[in-house]
Amino acid sequence: MLAGLIITSIGLVGALVSAPLGRHVAGLFKMVASAGFIGAAIDAGAFHSVYGALILSGLFFSWWGDLFLVSTNKHIFLMGVAAFFLAHVTYAAAFVALGVSVPGTLGAVVLLAVPATLLLRWLHPHLGDMRIPVYAYVAVISVMTALAGGAAMDDTTWSVPVGAVLFYLSDIFVARDRFVTPSPINERIGLPLYYAAQLALAFSVFATQ
């Protein structure tokens, strides 16, 4: 996994440093970073379990989502949202395959209902005809995060909820940049959170074997 961590770290630093050169230059580094977390999952043994295969599938969908989000075109952005939607569905399936606590999941749903509601109220005036896709996306990432909480039944699965929560937080900055306040600070905070999330989920493949 060390090689994947190094590749992702190099790509992340490159993306942040090259941001002033334009989205496409930074985007190349982002794709390198994203390839790193896929490599990390494979190195962790993703092909050796159903859970690992599902996490790897989610990382694969995320790679495509990262590629689509390089563009500022609205339709390509929507393809990116769809790719990440599928990633979260796959992650949710992985957590179910791992085994979830029903009371833990329901408790997480209740807790997540508050930030999800606040997030949608904040975004709603800015979404226009993107309201349905964004509402659906917030719903699926909230369910995914709740299932991650339900899967955290022992000390070996700490990376599952950590990865899910970091992913949730990183997407707030993506939404802020696209719909509310475009600013370099969004990527400076959001990208490290995002790649830490994906690496945590990749590590969970190793931790749960």
pLDDT in tens, 101-128: 899 899 999 999 999 999 999 999 999 9
Domain spans of the chain? 49-207
H-only helix segments in 19-158: 23-43, 50-68, 74-98, 102-127, 131-151
Compute the distance between CA of residue 68 and CA of residue 84 in angstroms, rounded to an integer.
10
pLDDT in tens, 131-190: 999 999 999 999 999 999 999 776 668 899 999 999 999 999 999 999 999 999 999 999
SS3 57: helix
Compute the distance between CA of residue 159 and CA of residue 163 in angstroms, rounded to an integer.
6
Backbone angles phi, psi at 153, to 5 degrees: -95, -15
Q: What is the pLDDT of residue 1?
A: 80
Predicted TM-score (pTM) of this structure:
0.94
Token output for 177: 């940049």
Q: Which amino acid is at 34?
A: S
**Which of 77, 83, 113, 98 minimizes the C-alpha distance to 156?**
98
